[in-house]
Structure formats: C-alpha cells, structure tokens
Structure 1
Amino acid sequence: NVTEAQNDPKWTHAMQEEIEALDTNQTWKVEEIPEAAHLVGSKWVYTIKYKPDGNIERYKARLVAKGFSQKYGIDYLETFAPVAKMKTIRVIISLAVLKGWEMCQLDVKNVFLNRDLEEEVSMCMPPGFEKPGRCCKLKKALYGIKQSSRVWFERLRLVMKKHGYKQGNGDHTLFVKRIEGKVTLLLVYVDDMIVTSDDEKEIARLKGLLSAEFDLKDLGKLKYFLGIEIARSGTTLVLNQRRYTLDLLKETGKLGCRPASTPLDAGHKLGSKDGELLCEEAKGRYQRLVGKLIYLTLTRPDITFAINVMSQFMHAPTDVHLKAVDRILCYLKKNPGKGLLYVKQRSIEIEG
C-alpha cells in the first residue's frame, strides 16, 4: 500500500519519477475543485519489472485513475480499442523464422499520455501528493481512464497512416508497408510493439519516425513478449512460458511436488456432480488457477484438452475438480520450459 511504499526508498523514488514524467508531459493542470465537480479517484499500482534472465530490471510505480468511477456522458463516451490477436503474433513469428527476418521489440513509455483528452475529466490528487482543496484537471489520457486505450490507438493509427502503413483487415493492430517488393510489419499490443521486415533501412526509418512522435524505447531483439519467452538460434525459434510456469508452481506450493506423467488420469470420467462443492474461497482459487492455466495454453498445447475439461466446472467446482487441477500443476513440474518450436522450412506450401 501507499503507506508502506512511502517508507521504502525504492518505491518513493519510483513514485517521484512517475510524477515528474507526468508533469513533464503536461498530463494535468492542478486547480481548485470546481463546485459540483465529479471527481475521478486515483491510486498507485506497484510492479517489479524483470529481465529475461529473471533478475530485477526496475521498480515501477504507476499512477492510475479509478476509471470505474467515471460516468458515461459526463467524462467519457467511446472506449473501444483493438487488441492484438495471439494467432497474429504466431503468424508473424512463423513468417519471420521462415524468411529469416530479424524481429525487434519497441516500447512506448507513458503510452496513454500521447494525445489530449476531448472530454473534461477532473481527478483527485495522487495519494501521497495531496493538496487541500485542489484536484487534477486531466489534459491527457491517464492510465485507468476508460477511453485511454482508444485515444492512444487512434493517435498511433494516424501516425502510421501518415507514413504509408496500412492496417490489416483481419487484425487492426497490425500495420503493413510494402516498398519495391519488400515488406515491413508492425504489431502493437497496447504499449509493446513487434517489428519485423526484410528491409533494414525501413526498420531504422520506422524507429526514427516513432521516436519523433513518442517517447520510444528500443528493446533490441525480441526476447520476451506478454509473458512469453522467445529464444532464437539460427533457423529455429522456441516460445515458452517457463518463468510464468515456475511462478505459478511457486505460488501454489508445487515446486517440490512429484511430477505427474500426464495432465489428467488415464480414462478419466469427471462429471459436474463428482465430489463436494467448494466453499467460496476455494471456488475463487479454482477459478483463478484455471484462468492462469488457460493463458499457459498459448505455448502448451499439451494441456489444452485438460484445461478445456476443467473449464466446464468453473461455475460450481468440487474438491475432485480441484484435485484434478492440482494434477495439471504437477504435470507442468515435469518440464516447465516446454513450449512451441518453430523451424525454418523450404516453403510455406501446405503438404498433404
């Protein structure tokens, strides 16, 4: 919480750094609270960012608005923004391996602060930085504001269009540019971007134009994206969620468990009426575990069937179902680094 964070130099530095970045970006104007004003709340979110090797990269304190306290028609209207599809990410990675293209990753700092808000939004002063009788009149789309994603994506779309990039028809977060037979692809997931191309000059140009528009950080070769580790060597590439899996095993106390040979018992016949219904606390634990395991299926198709079975009981899980989920965790202990292997082929033609 804020009180504990204020007593820790690492977090106080992170909060001060965030406030300075927001001030530099002219995110708000501090003014007296207007009469009959509808104030949106604010809070701090603390996260520790890790390097691909698991070491701590930095402590991040992010100030977010409590968007749930906004009122439709008063301080927000449209909110929709597209999100990159996992199948698009897989296709881009597969294409890059097949063609031998390099993949790089870009990150936009304070992504939602890159365009002015159209609506008037007044927010409470940040916790720990309060000023009596004062509030923040937002000028930019702060994290947490309902329309933030839409405002940011529209700004990016206009920038990409201005520089000759076209949106994909099947996935609007994919931007494509073709020049003299060469192709450059940019895929965006909120503030993370993947860029791949057979045109090194266009990649350099793209980085330059984005840096001119946004506070851009070049993360180099693609190694870690959305919790997925990417290891490339020559003509092969592996996607896995090893760290995610180990964190899940640690969280559930399964790091020292005996590995299971299969995700489910052979010949299982799980039904909705098997066992005793879980209490509300255990039910919540079951639902959270299955949700986390669903995300793991992105690189672990070997547990997909088992997770599909366990998902059927989300509304009323029993102790038998929870035991079955525990078995899946024990199966993951067998090989936490297992994932998807991409190998360069001679062609992309389908053979039957």
Structure 2
Amino acid sequence: MSECFPMKDLGPLKFFLGIEVSRGKQGIYVSQRKYTLDIISECGLLGAQPIDTPLEQNHALAKDAGELYSNPSRYRRLVGRLVYLALTRPDLSYVVHLLAQQGILFSKDSDLHLDAYCDSDYDSCPKTRRSLSGYIVLLGTSPICWKTKKQKTVSMSSAEAEYRAVAFTYQEIKRLKELLLLFQVPHPEPVTLHCDNKAALYIAANPVFHERNT
C-alpha cells in the first residue's frame, strides 16, 4: 500500500477512532472503554451504580403515544454514539436497532416553497487542500435533496469556498425548479438560499466579474 499511497509507519496500533487495541498471546483485543465512559459522562451518569436493565420483550416503541422528547437533537446524538459503540458490543445491537428507528417526515401540510441551506468545509482535504461543499434543500418543511461533495479546485479563502458552495447549491435549485414544472407545480417566487458567510453573499450579489467568481 505504501507504493500507492503516502504512508508513515507509526508502530503498532493502540488507539484509533475511539477503539482501543491491545495484543496478547491469544490474539488482538479491541474495546471502546474510554468511548463508553465518555457517553456515560455526557449523560451525567458517571457516578451511578451499574445495574442490569433488560429490555422489555416485544416492545413496540414506534407505537408509543407519550409526549415527544423535548431535545431530539441530543437523543439523535446519543443514539449515533451507541450505533458506533455496537462495533465492539454486539450485545447492544438489538437495543440500538430499536432506538435508532428514525426516519424523515414528509409533512402533508407543508407548502411547496423551496428553501436551501449550504455550507463549506474550507481546506478539509489534507492531501489536495480542496474544500467540501454541502447543501440541503427543503420543500416546505420536508427535506427532499442533500449532498456533500469535494470541490473541483482549491479555494484561496474560506469566503471563496463558501461562494463555491453557494454556486453548487444554485445548480441544484435550478434542477429542482425544472423538475417541479414537470410535475406541474409552479414556483414563481424566488428560492430562499441560506449561507452563513457575508463575504460569499457579497460575491454572489455582485454582478461584476472578478477572479473569485471563477
């Protein structure tokens, strides 16, 4: 592999992406002890006493009619961390499977107005120095299109990278408006495109061609 990719020998693997690796006479042992402690600490249960809590059999979690969780983003983050923990704890697979049964809601009450959000990760590739462009497009309140892609050229600044993300998203907006017309859904009003970089917005609003527009 070193003949095809630039590599450096850092010695025997001990810790990688939250996974601890140890070697012994019987073989290689992998665990996520520190990663697990981080999850427990984040939940405020670091000092709690361990206890067996078996999952109720045939539990229909999806049919639960209780109140919605007040902080869904925290719940998703915790479930995501548990999904990764299941790499070395297969005994958690069933529980994580139940907790991770989430999806995307396409609301029947949403209007047919397009809203788009875009962002970039400047200089994210350590080898090519290219940035990432990402966007998500909503039809009303329902997400219908999202994508992340490495930019084709190197951006000289974060503002330029953000501008390229805006242009990348604009191309998708044009495609979606044409697609809506095929479904006989007119969209005469302007599409709202959200960007968090003022410099990129100034570049996009400036009709004068300059080097950052290339």
TM-score normalized by the length of structure 1 = 0.27
Q: Highest relative contact order (Cα 8 Å, sep 6+), 1 or 2?
A: 1
TM-score normalized by the length of structure 2 = 0.43
Which structure is higher in strand share? 1
